């Protein structure tokens, strides 16, 4: 078999299934988010409004964050200069870890290059090094958790998505003496549904399991201080580990875990994906700290965000555009066909100046292809109307089914 022929075939299979990924080349405009310049392959450019960013609150351009980053670049330079172990631990990393531990009411925190790496490294390390541990993983957990679990080669049980009764049945069937972990998310990124955190913690407690919660889509966004859904529901102390990202609502980059000091020290001491990599730039750590601190105090971003999410849903409802009804800020507009989804996204971009990336298999199951719309507090009334009207026009053109009111 020729290696390159094999690659060509695999790629053309993706193309014919409509699942080939094309990245939209954007230039984000600081202080004008959600506007960006879209660079076409031809070299032409056009101005677009971004409707699928995970910079949920626009913190990526907030002057509190950007000025702090500029200040620390001037003060400390561009990079960290080493791994955390060898000269790379900067004062601003330590301050960030304290801020994160405080945010989630935990003893300690540890930062990683990204949320992906934090899940992969923390789960991979804990699950591979605790003898006989069994992990119970929600069926819709993110790829980074799945990879961490797979890498650990520990015993694994999949419980049905958001189903504490199934979790209980699985746990009851296992050796009561085996150490156990339950790993799940609060807000699920593609359907925007929210886990029954309390019920899952109740089951975990009955079987003496530790709990690991990915709050990536909730940190900064929910709870009085932006501590996530567990904070909003008064449940942070029920979770052993709360994991999050600095790259979504906090607007910067990086990932982290928070939890008991001994567990954090254990991951710090044994996780290859933490130890053998250059530390985050100090300016980035300082910018993230400024973002977290701001969102701990200020609720106006969260309130404006929720209000805009409600406006988008109402505008779609008025025009019969089907979207998944969920209790979060994620608005999945269902198309149900990979090629149509891609086509709608292309036309929105070229004819309507709207950028929403199509979400196709394997990110979501075949037949549930969608446009994942993420309103921000910075979209205005005209943006919302234009989005809804454009989708309405395309729904007619494509003869797609409408939602019945």
Q: Which residues are catalytic?
A: 248
300 C-beta neighbours (distance < 10 Å), count: 11
Token pair for residue 154? 């520990």
Nearer CB in complex with ligand PLP: 247/322: 247
Assigned token pair, 370: 């969608």
Out of 49, 62, 119, 186, name the contact with ligand PLP by CB under 6 A.
119
- Region binding ligand PLP by CB under 6 A among candidate stretches 33-41, 210-218, 320-328, 354-362: 210-218
Strand order across the 370-373 sheet: 331-334, 370-373, 358-359
d(CA 172, CA 176): 8
Please give the residues from 331 up to 350 whose contact with ligand PLP meets the rule CB under 6 A: none
Residue 298 corresponds to which tokens in the numbers above? 């200020």
Q: How far is the CB of 29 from ligand PLP (least distance, A)?
A: 22
* Binding residues for ligand PLP restricted to 140-159, rule: CB under 6 A: 142, 144
Cβ nearer to ligand PLP, comparing 193 with 383:
193
Residue 138 binds ligand PLP (CB under 6 A): no
**Nearest Cα to 279, choosing from 87, 75, 98?**
87
Pick 273 or 282: Cβ nearer ligand PLP: 273
**Count of residues that bind ligand PLP according to CB under 6 A:** 14
157-196 footprint of ligand PLP as x/- string (CB under 6 A) = ----------------------------x---x-------
For residue 161, the SS3 value is: coil
Strands (E) located in 113-234: 134-138, 155-159, 180-185, 210-214
Options 103-111, 113-121, 160-168, 300-308: segment touching ligand PLP (CB under 6 A): 113-121
- Window 39 to 98, contacts with ligand PLP (CB under 6 A): none
Which tokens in the block code for residue 78? 């561009």
The total number of residues written for the chain in this structure: 405
Nearer to ligand PLP, 245 or 258 (CB): 245
Residue 247 binds ligand PLP (CB under 6 A): yes
Residue 347 DSSP code: H
Peptide bond into 362 cis (omega under 30): yes
| CB within 8 Å of 33: residues ≥ 6 apart | 50, 53, 55, 58, 60, 61, 376, 378
Q: How far is the CB of 242 from ligand PLP (least distance, A)?
A: 12
Could you say whether residue 251 binds ligand PLP (CB under 6 A)?
no
395 contributes a contact to ligand PLP by CB under 6 A: no
For the four alpha carbons of 207, 210, 216 and 222, in that order, the dihedral sign comes to positive
Q: Which of 57, 100, 171, 216 contacts ligand PLP by CB under 6 A?
A: 216
Nearer to ligand PLP, 142 or 166 (CB): 142
Token code pair at residue 63: 């002057």
Residue 116 as a binder of ligand PLP (CB under 6 A): the answer is yes
- Cβ pair 208, 172 in contact under 8 A: no
Tokens of 361: 């298999």
- Under rule CB under 6 A, residue 364 binds ligand PLP: no
Site for ligand PLP in 272-331 (CB under 6 A): none
Q: Is 115 a residue that touches ligand PLP (CB under 6 A)?
A: yes
Interface ranges with ligand PLP (CB under 6 A)? 114-116, 119, 142, 144, 185, 189, 214, 216-217, 245, 247, 255
């Amino acid at each position: 078999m020729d290696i390159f022929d094999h690659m060509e075939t695999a790629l053309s299979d993706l193309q014919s299934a409509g699942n080939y990924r094309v990245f939209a080349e954007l230039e984000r405009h600081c202080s004008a988010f959600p506007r960006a310049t879209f660079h076409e392959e031809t070299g032409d450019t056009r101005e677009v409004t971004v409707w699928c960013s995970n910079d949920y609150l626009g913190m990526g351009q907030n002057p509190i964050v950007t000025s702090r980053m500029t200040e620390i670049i001037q003060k400390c330079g561009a990079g960290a200069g080493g791994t955390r172990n060898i000269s790379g631990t900067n004062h601003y990393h330590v301050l960030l870890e304290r801020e994160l531990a405080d945010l989630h009411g935990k003893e300690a925190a540890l930062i990683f290059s990204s949320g992906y790496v934090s899940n992969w490294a923390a789960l991979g390390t804990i699950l591979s090094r605790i003898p006989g541990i069994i992990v119970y993983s929600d069926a819709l957990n993110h790829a980074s958790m799945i990879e961490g679990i797979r890498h650990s080669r520990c015993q694994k049980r999949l419980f049905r998505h958001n189903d504490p009764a199934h979790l209980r049945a699985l746990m009851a069937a296992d050796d009561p003496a085996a150490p156990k972990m339950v790993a799940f998310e609060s807000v699920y990124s593609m359907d925007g549904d929210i886990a029954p955190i309390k019920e899952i913690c109740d089951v975990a407690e009955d079987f003496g399991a530790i709990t690991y919660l990915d709050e990536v889509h909730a940190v900064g966004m929910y709870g009085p201080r932006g501590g996530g859904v567990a904070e909003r529901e008064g449940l942070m102390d029920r979770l052993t580990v709360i994991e999050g990202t600095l790259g979504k609502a906090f607007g910067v980059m990086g990932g982290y875990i928070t939890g008991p000091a001994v567990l954090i020290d254990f991951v710090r001491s044994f996780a290859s994906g933490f130890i053998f990599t250059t530390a985050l730039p100090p300016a980035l750590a300082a910018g993230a700290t400024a973002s977290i601190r701001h969102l701990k105090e200020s609720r106006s971003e969260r309130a404006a965000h929720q209000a805009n999410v409600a406006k988008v849903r109402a505008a779609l409802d008025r025009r019969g555009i089907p979207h998944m009804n969920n209790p979060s800020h994620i608005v999945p507009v269902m198309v149900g066909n990979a090629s149509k989804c891609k086509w709608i996204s292309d036309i929105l971009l070229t004819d309507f100046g709207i950028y929403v990336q199509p979400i196709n298999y394997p990110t979501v199951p075949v037949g549930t292809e969608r446009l994942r719309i993420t309103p921000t507090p910075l979209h205005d009334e005209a943006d919302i109307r234009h989005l809804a009207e454009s989708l309405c026009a395309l729904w007619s053109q494509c003869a797609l089914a409408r939602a019945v009111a």
